[in-house]
């Protein structure tokens, strides 16, 4: 309803924006002074009077997703308590604050209490959510419950939290080879790792090979038989390798590079995916589904490959958030 109420103001602002563009276009087409035409067609003072309204509209558009979700609390509260009571959640983390928050919400629902106690688990929430929840001094029950449910949703998706008895939301180790099968295959040397199955024997062989190679390197260094390397007064000196790319090739590379537009690597990978469909092979470990957002998935692969991290990758990508890359 709040957004419906804003529609007349939005339409008014858009009409003024259209009138402004039309006036500036007219001034440009006929070679007239842009400010004079703008003042004549739209009105400079009228534009200035609209500025506070536009600023408030922009601020409203930047409202926190949690605050917007809080407006739907009446709907969420109808099923949240029953949902939490129906399942038993488990975590790989000891003393997981999210599980503590879920237990608290279960107890509040069972006791029909509407307010939160003064001390509640918060480390499962982001700093922005905490500021919003505790902005009025006492914690806001509605926002706390919705933020906790959102955190539970994310942790279930990542299999960091699982549900007892569920086939879809199982612990991540249930997707791996059973320990008994691994032990049997290891004893029968059927793991197919391509290396010695006995760790102690493999380390012994590696030490022996490393010792041999180091002694051979030392002998060649003392004899002056290493190309581009010499030993002087006990110091090993390596001659820098000169560049072997001809200057003409460098010039050609620069010339060709100038012919191509600057392209974001995630966009390039997405285009290759459109040709080949290779991103569909990155299936979900639990469900086996193909990525619903191939661009975000490819940006995540690229972030890991370059050690950029999700936040820096998101800032370098168009239309992709760090949260999307995290999935």
Model pLDDT, residue 306: 84
| Interatomic CA distance for residues 31 and 34, integer angstroms | 8
Predicted pLDDT at 5: 53
Q: Six-digit token pair at 226?
A: 């290493």
- In percent, how much of the chain has pLDDT > 90? 21
Beta-bridge partners for 251: none
Percent with pLDDT over 70 in the chain: 94
Spatial distance between the Cα atoms of 66 and 131, rounded to a whole number of angstroms: 11
Describe the crossing of helices 97-110 and 141-157 by its angle, rounded to 10 degrees: 130
The tokens 């040397």 sit on which residue? 189
Each domain of the chain, given as residue ranges in start order, spans 5-60, 65-173, 263-326
What is the three-class DSSP state of 133?
helix
At 300 the pLDDT is: 86
Q: What pLDDT, on a 0 to 100 scale, did the predictor assign at position 319?
A: 73
Q: Which residues have C-beta within 8 Å of that of residue 216, sequence separation ≥ 6?
A: none
Note the pTM of the prediction, 2 decimals. Answer: 0.49
* Rounded distance between C-alpha atoms, residue 230 and residue 224, angstroms: 6
pLDDT at 3: 45
Q: Which parts of the chain sit beneath pLDDT 50? A: 1-4, 61
pLDDT of 210 reads: 96
DSSP string, 96-121: -HHHHHHHHHHHHHHTT--S--SS--
Residue 105 has a pLDDT of 95
Which residues fall within 8 angstroms of residue 101, CB to CB, at 6 or more apart?
Answer: 120, 121, 124, 144, 148, 151
Q: Half-sphere exposure of residue 139, counting CA atoms within 13 Å on the CB side?
A: 20
Q: How far apart are CA 320 and CA 296, in angstroms?
A: 6
């Amino acid at each position: 309803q709040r957004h419906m109420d804003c529609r007349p103001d939005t339409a008014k602002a858009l009409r003024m924006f259209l009138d402004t563009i039309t006036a500036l276009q007219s001034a440009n087409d006929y070679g007239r002074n842009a400010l004079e035409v703008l003042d004549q067609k739209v009105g400079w003072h009228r534009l200035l009077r609209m500025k506070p309204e536009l600023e408030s509209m922009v601020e409203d558009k930047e409202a926190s997703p949690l605050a917007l979700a809080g407006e739907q609390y009446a709907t969420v509260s109808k099923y949240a308590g029953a949902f939490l009571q129906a399942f038993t959640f488990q975590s790989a983390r000891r003393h997981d604050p999210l599980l503590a928050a879920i237990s608290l919400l279960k107890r509040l629902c069972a006791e029909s209490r509407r307010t939160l106690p003064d001390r509640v688990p918060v480390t499962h929430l982001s700093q922005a959510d905490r500021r919003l929840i505790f902005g009025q001094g006492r914690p806001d029950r509605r926002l706390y419950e919705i933020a906790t449910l959102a955190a539970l949703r994310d942790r279930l998706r990542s299999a960091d939290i699982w549900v007892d008895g569920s086939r879809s939301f199982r612990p991540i180790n249930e997707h791996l080879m059973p320990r008994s099968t691994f032990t049997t295959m290891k004893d029968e040397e059927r793991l197919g790792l391509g290396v010695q199955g006995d760790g102690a024997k493999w380390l012994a062989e590696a030490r022996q090979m490393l010792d041999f190679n180091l002694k051979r390197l030392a002998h060649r260094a003392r004899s002056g038989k290493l190309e581009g390397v010499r030993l002087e007064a006990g110091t090993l000196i390596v001659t820098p390798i000169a560049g072997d790319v001809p200057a003409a090739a460098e010039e050609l590379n620069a010339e060709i590079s100038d012919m191509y537009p600057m392209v974001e690597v995630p966009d390039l990978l997405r285009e290759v995916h459109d040709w080949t469909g290779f991103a569909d092979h990155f299936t979900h470990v639990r469900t086996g589904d193909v990525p619903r957002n191939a661009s975000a998935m490819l940006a995540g692969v690229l972030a890991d490959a370059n050690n950029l991290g999700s936040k820096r990758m998101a800032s370098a990508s168009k239309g992709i958030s760090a949260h999307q890359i995290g999935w």
